[in-house]
Amino acid sequence: MKEVRTAKIFKNLNKGENGLFFKGKCFQADSKFLDSFRSFTADTSNFEWGELGTIYTDFLIEFYDSNYVLINKARVSYDGMVLISPELGTTKWGLLSMKGDDKIREIMNRYFSD
């Protein structure tokens, strides 16, 4: 995450529960978002060991370096998961604690309030 310079946030257009993701409305993340997300993923108390299996992805975040090369992706599920690829050890397996679930919603709702 240290190499990240910019990010795009996509909302899932798919309203079904079949796990497919269709890129919808896109927002360019600002420095406040990037700082908040870095802080969020660095705090292990936002995560618990475990995962929910196949999840419905509400948001996809694509992270880019200074040369605009895609270096990380995050799948955010309001079902209580944040999956980062490549994986970050601090996020354990992606299961959110209650604190983490509240925090990710606070971060994301700045861009998406519906």
**The pairing of beta strand 95-96 with beta strand 59-64:** unpaired
Domain boundaries, the chain: 6-109
> Is the pTM value of this prediction over 0.85?
yes
| Span 46-103, pLDDT tens digits | 999 887 777 788 999 999 999 999 999 999 999 899 999 887 778 888 899 999 999 9
pLDDT in tens, 9-36: 999 988 766 678 888 889 999 999 999 9
- Among residues 94, 4, 77, the alpha carbon closest in space to that of 41 is found at 94
Q: Other C-beta atoms within 10 Å of 10: how many?
A: 18
> Packing angle between helix 98-109 and helix 31-42, nearest 10 degrees?
170
Using 50, 70 and 90 to split pLDDT, how confident is the model at 1? low
pLDDT band at 111 (very low <50, low <70, confident <90, very high): confident
